[in-house]
Amino acid sequence: MDRERRLSEKAREEIRRLQGLYPQARSALLPALFVAQGEEGYLSEEALEEVAELFDLPLSEVASVASFYTLFHRRPVGRHVIHFCTNLSCMLNGAEEILAHLCRRLGIQPGETTRDGLFTVKKAECLAACDIAPMMLVDEEVYGNLTPQKVDEILGKYREEGSG
């Protein structure tokens, strides 16, 4: 009863509101998982359990749905998540070298998080911005026509924000 809750009351309310938008509440499961992920930055086992309760579903079912989709993180990620597109149009425009440059600058491999917890880099599939390839998504912002210099500038900007 008294175990510590991972979802705030605000998050619970938001999930209930979402459930009301659909003829069947279960449709709000993905949106609800985004709300839950917003709380801690990733989906902990406890958070999944609480979502499962709100939907009256077994935990295994909710975990299985969450694991199907790439935007749900089951482990903590950095403050900024970089989705770097490596699909065809970006690859043809040098994405590999730019990604290698980015990873060198951060001292990590794709899939990893920097030691200071500021950045996580993930390889991404086509993000529908092939006209500005090579491109990446940092959190919700799109950056295209990338060059090594441009990558350095962008990283600098986020680092400044982080220390400011």
Partner 1 sequence: MPEKLLTRYIHEPDQADITTYIRRGGYEAARRALRELTPEQIIEMVDQAGLRGRGGAGFPTGRKWRFVPKHAPVKYVVVNADEGEPGTFKDRTLMERDPHQLLEGIILASYAIGAHKAFIYLRGEFYGARRQLQRAIAQATERGFLGRNIFGSDFSLDVVLHTGAGAYIAGEETALLESLEGKRAMPRLKPPYFPAVMGLYSQPTALNNVETLCHVTQIVRHGPEWYKEQGPPVLFSVSGHVARPGLYELPLGIPLRELIFSHAGGIRGGRRFKACFPGGSSSMLLVEEHLDVPMDYESLARVGSMLGSGAVIVMDETTCMVKVIARAVEFYRDESCGKCTPCREGTVWLSQIFDRILQGRGRREDLDLLESIARNMTGTCFCPLGESVPPSLRASLLYFHDEYEAHIRTGRCNVLQPV
Residues in touch with ligand FES (CB under 6 A)? 85, 87-90, 126-127, 129-130, 133, 135
At 78, give phi and psi (nearest 5°): -70, 170
Residue 70 contacts partner 1 per CB under 8 A = yes
Give, as one character, the DSSP assignment of residue 124.
E
Q: How far apart are CA 65 and CA 148, in angstroms?
A: 37
What sign does the dihedral 38-43-47-51 (CA atoms) show? positive
What is the nearest approach in angstroms of ligand FES to the Cβ of residue 129?
A: 4
The closest alpha carbon to 127, from 148, 116, 141, 114, belongs to: 141
Residue 56 contacts partner 1 per CB under 8 A = no
Site for partner 1 in 2-31 (CB under 8 A): 21-24, 26-31
Residue 72 contacts partner 1 per CB under 8 A = yes
User: Which own/partner pairs from 16-20 qualify as long-range (CB within 8 Å, at least 24 positions apart)?
Assistant: 16/54, 19/54, 19/55
Judged by beta carbon distances under 5 to 8 A according to partner kind, the member of partner 1, ligand FES, none in contact with residue 64 is partner 1
Contact string (CB under 8 A) for partner 1, positions 135-164, x = contact: --x--xxx----------------------
What is the nearest approach in angstroms of ligand FES to the Cβ of residue 145?
A: 12
User: Is 52 in contact with 7 (CB distance < 8 Å)?
Assistant: no
Q: Which two tokens stand for residue 25?
A: 């509440």
**Among the listed residues 87, 114, 148, 154, the single contact to partner 1 using CB under 8 A:** 87
The closest alpha carbon to 73, from 116, 131, 33, belongs to: 33
Judged by beta carbon distances under 5 to 8 A according to partner kind, the member of partner 1, ligand FES, none in contact with residue 24 is partner 1
Q: Which two tokens stand for residue 136?
A: 């990446």
Residues in touch with partner 1 (CB under 8 A) = 21-24, 26-31, 33-34, 55, 64-65, 68-72, 83, 86-89, 91-93, 124-133, 137, 140-142
